Chains A and B, each alone.
Chain A
Amino acid sequence: MRVQAIGITKRFGSDDAALNGVDVEVRSGELMALLGPSGSGKTTLLRVIAGLETPDSGRVMFGDEDATDIPVRKRRVGFVFQHYALFRHMTVFDNIAFGLRVRGRERPSRAEIAARVGELLRLVQLEEYGRRRPNQLSGGQRQRIALARALAVDPRVLLLDEPFGALDARVRKDLRRSLRDIHDATGRTTIFVTHDQDEALELADRVAILNNGILEQIGTPDEVHDHPASAFVMSFVGESSRLPATVSGGRVLFRDTPVPVTAGIGADGPAALYLRPWDIAFTSGPAGFAGHVVMVRRAAGGRRAEVALDGPDAPHVEVGVPVGASVARGENVRIEIRGGRIFPA
């Protein structure tokens, strides 16, 4: 089921708009991440799609159907909350069966409910846990049950609000994998909210990046990482350092030295130069910029050296340290800029 949010604006009280004319299209069967810092409006957008919030303006489309005015209980969405929201007075079985039992006249038979719940428990790999209560389960298990409960009603779209936010790193990793597997097995359109870029980039087919209630960019993980549409996306997705630069006659200058950046150069004047760690390298020649190493730290993929450049404002840049290179804190080094992206200052 294709899901579209068209021109969604939502304001809470007299605050700045939580969402300001956001357009997002989620293709049928796609796994989409809504990524942004806290207060960016990503959760509000998810809740608008679910029908838990009413937008001030804009439409929500499920396929060709306008779902904006369909009340939440008739919208047939599966919603998974960050803190599980399991019914703790019910067993795991009863939690999953809840959505089937409240169907009124279309309520399936006992046997059908039992079969469906059993199937879902297998899907989330908790077959033996039907008779337990939520307080007898670990956080990861609870979230799996919440997922099974949301899937029980055969939702047209599955929505997850920071589903891994309350879990520790290992469980989080397992659960990500499970979500991906379940998504691939069922092919259900899925949208999840996260503030964790690794999670979004690893898991999602496409990522929508929100900031201050505005959609900054929507694209595949590679697109948003390698071709960020704005300075915000550049700094929010992946590691980067920012240097003050100037544009002059179609060239980018940092401290009057040309920098090999060609794409996206705008009008003359001050600009912001963003560098990924591998856009910067240590150099032994007289070229480049002098500085000293402030700190060396271990990042997920390798080592990073934080270098303070000599001269005015002593800007800091993060440099990728090649495998086998020895860099020590306090050492005087020279760096050269080999790439980067330029955005209006």
Chain B
Amino acid sequence: MRAAGLSLKEPSALPGFGLSLGYALAYLSAIVLIPLAALIYRAAGIGLAGFADVLGDPRVLAALRTSFGIAFAAAVVASLFGLLVAWVLTRYRFPARRIVDAAVDLPFALPTAVAGIALAALYAPNGWIGSLLAPLGLRVAFTPLGIFVALVFVALPFAVRTVQPVIGEIDRELEEAAATLGATRAESVFKVVLPPLVPAVLTGFVLAFARSVGEYGSVIFVAGNLPFVSEIAPLLVVIKLEEYDYAGATAIATVMLGISFVGLFLINLLEAYARRRLGHG
């Protein structure tokens, strides 16, 4: 038996492996790996002591906490809400379904700065939604809550679009089988329908989280950007750049990259485990 995937020299009935692998690697290098390597190279210039200095800055730590914490919360909410949206769009037929379906993609297309300004205007204490929330003592714009709202907005399409096709493939017979066995609708949804969706929901979560961590444009307009409160790490990178502190900027970026990589790697492992557990191949 030969190991599948290691057969570089095996002639194949469907040629093109060498060409496509070569092209993919070259492309990946030029667009992704080389810039990342340059980033790490620049950051390495300041040495370990320099890193310790940057990371010892409480303002940097606060910004990292804000960025990752709120991105995580936003990705969780976007995943759950996205699952619901995808479910409704796939399972039910209602008059404006196609319009709603198209609207889900708007955050993809909209320049995120526009989204940030729109959200800020809406949620400001004198805005349409903000003026309704103000009497309840709830302030959204220019607080961490504003960041959360903006991140859910930009992350939602990722969550919806990864889960939607998987919901479309669910076999109706599974729910019918559950019903004939005496399951209530809720039991059928939670025990039969949702468990196989977990890997897709996790994939959507990964994309939403990654998008949220890196989001800049919409957040800075709605966050208020108070150091130690609502300042995100990408903004801090820009601030450092404007101060010509390139080493500091690349150090923060490298730390973000490292945390993201570890986080995404762990979630991918979890997803692979869920896939096996749930009997996908």
Contacts and interface: CB of A to CB of B under 8 A. Distances in A.
Interface string A31-50: 00000000000000000001
Interface string A74-95: 1111110101010111000000
A88 B180 CA distance: 17
B176 interface: yes
A50 B196 contact: no
Q: By DSSP majority rule, is chain B's interface helix, strand, loop, or mixed?
A: helix
A102 B184 contact: yes
Given A88-B279, A89-B277, A89-B278, A81 B173 contact: yes
Nearest to A134: B279
Given A88-B278, A133-B279, A153 B173 contact: no
Interface string A292-307: 0000000000000000
A103 interface: yes
Given A89-B278, A89-B279, A81 B184 contact: no
A85 B177 CA distance: 7
Categorize the interface residue count of chain B: 20 to 34
Given A83-B173, A89-B195, A135 B180 contact: no
A151 to B, nearest CB: 11
A166 to B, nearest CB: 12
Given A88-B278, A89-B279, A134-B279, A149 B181 contact: yes
A101 to B, nearest CB: 9
Contacts, number: 72
B16 to A, nearest CB: 30
Contacts of B187: 102
Contacts of B181: 73, 98-99, 102, 149-150, 152-153
A153 B182 contact: yes
A72 B180 CA distance: 6
B183 A85 contact: no
A77 B182 CA distance: 9
Contacts of A89: 195-196, 277-279
Contact of B182 (A50, A74, A88, A133): A74
B103 interface: no
Contacts of B171: 83, 85
B178 interface: yes
Contacts of A182: none
B174 interface: yes
Given A74-B182, A87-B192, A102-B184, A81 B278 contact: no
Interface in A128-181: 133-135, 149-150, 152-153
B182 to A, nearest CB: 5
B183 A98 contact: yes
A73 B181 CA distance: 6
A103 B182 contact: yes
Contact of B177 (A79, A133, A135): A79
Interface in B226-281: 277-281
Given A133-B279, A134-B279, A135-B279, A85 B184 contact: no
Interface of B: 171, 173-174, 176-184, 187, 191-192, 195-196, 277-281
A-B residue pairs, 4 tightest by C-beta: A99-B181, A88-B279, A85-B173, A89-B278
13 contacts: A50-B180, A52-B180, A72-B180, A81-B173, A81-B176, A87-B191, A88-B196, A88-B279, A89-B277, A98-B178, A102-B191, A135-B279, A135-B281
Interface of A: 50-52, 72-79, 81, 83, 85, 87-89, 98-99, 102-103, 133-135, 149-150, 152-153
